[in-house]
Amino acid sequence: MTRRPSIQLTCIFIGALDLTACGFRQSPPPLARPAAFIALGVGAPYLSGDVIGGTRARAAKMRAAKITPLAPQAVPSYLGELEGELRRQTAGIGLDVLRIGNSIVVRIPATLTFDVGSASLKPQFGATLLEISRTVKSRNRTFVDVLAHSDLSGSDKANQALSDRRASAVAAYLSGHGVSKARVASRGLGETSPLYNPENSETEKAANRRVEIRLVPYTG
């Protein structure tokens, strides 16, 4: 009597050609970060200064949107939980979640963001931002600052304009995927705050061409 191969065995053979045929998906490989990416730039003044546009004006928008402020004593635990969620949500993607003072900074390297000279989001950047937005929109008691940087090539004026467009593009994506517009502001920093200066390799140039999402607690 001839035995027919089991469904499981058939899936193994089919899966060798296409894993999705049996309901499996291959995870993309993690993206490498530049050496010392985390350690650089965490003491820059722009990361610990006031939110874009000033706390008073931004808080007025939050109140108008009926977003409840945090009690000061609740800030440490709220930020701790938010940081943990972001780390789990973005594990293996290739970005950094940094705790800097009374804020959380999600730092995204150029491999995930924009092509050179472009302000159009790469497809993989949209996927990364979607993961971030899922957490940020549910944890809505923070200001959201989007900061974009350029490398050191090109003119100051061109780099500033490009970084402004990139920051606006990321802010628009977040707002379009559930993060309240009342929470979001953006700013391009051009080439004013490089991680590497001078840039000695293409890797260092790419590290400078980064986007950062800064989350600051809203306390009223």
pLDDT, one tens digit per residue, over 193-214 is 999 989 998 888 888 889 999 9
How far apart are alpha carbons 89 and 133 in whole angstroms?
10
How far apart are alpha carbons 112 and 95 in whole angstroms?
9
Model's pTM, two decimal places?
0.82
**Residue-wise pLDDT tens digits, 68-115:** 999 999 999 999 999 999 999 888 888 899 999 899 999 988 778 888
The residue extents of the domains of the chain are: 39-217
The class of domain 39-217 in CATH terms is: alpha beta
Please report which confidence band the pLDDT of residue 33 belongs to, taking 50, 70 and 90 as the band edges: low
